[in-house]
Amino acid sequence: MIGRPKKYRIVEYLLKPTKFKPNRKINGYVELTIDELEAIRLADVENMYQENAARVMDVSRQTFGRIIKSAHTKIADAIINTKELRIGKNEKCRNVKLIKCASCGKIWRVPLNYDKHRCPECHAKNIEVIEMNNGKLKRRN
């Protein structure tokens, strides 16, 4: 039986592949995908409700629930069973950044390699990259 193809998920937080190791004997490893890390960030760090976080990632609320449950299970397994936690598998994710127009205030998502310098709403040239910091938008220097 073949399931539906996995839908791309939107990821605003970019983390290079990394590892966290216990300071004692390691009993294997657990791999956390980028979309699972993004779900943890949105739900547990940004304190978003699942419905809102699902909209940010461009998935259904049910899919978000499955992603967050999988992430929590993997993290608990790594902690309880002294396993190395690996982060970085980037399958079916689209990394994006937030852009804001200083003229009209419109905020939109664009791919990381976005190089146009005009607002799609008012066509002004004064746009800036912004980022989330503890649930608040912050201008990136």
Residue 49 has pLDDT above 50, yes or no: yes
Mean pLDDT of the chain: 78
Mean pLDDT value across residues 87-116: 69
> Which domains can be identified in the chain, with CATH numbers?
9-91 (1.10.10), 95-139 (2.20.28.10)
Mean pLDDT value across residues 61-69: 94
**DSSP for 28-57, written as a single string:** -EEEEEHHHHHHHIIIIIS---HHHHHHHH
pLDDT per position as a tens digit, 121-131: 787 777 777 66
Q: What percent of the chain has pLDDT over 90?
A: 27
- By C-alpha distance, which of 15, 111, 9, 21 is closest to 70? 9
Q: Which of 5-9, 53-57, 106-110, 125-129 has the highest mean pLDDT?
A: 53-57
Contact 87, 117 (CB under 8 A): no
Residue 136 has pLDDT above 50, yes or no: no
Residue 56 has pLDDT above 90, yes or no: no
In the chain, % helix, strand, coil (3-state, to 5) comes to 30, 30, 40
Mean pLDDT value across residues 37-51: 90
Q: What is the pTM of this model?
A: 0.64
Mean pLDDT value across residues 11-30: 80
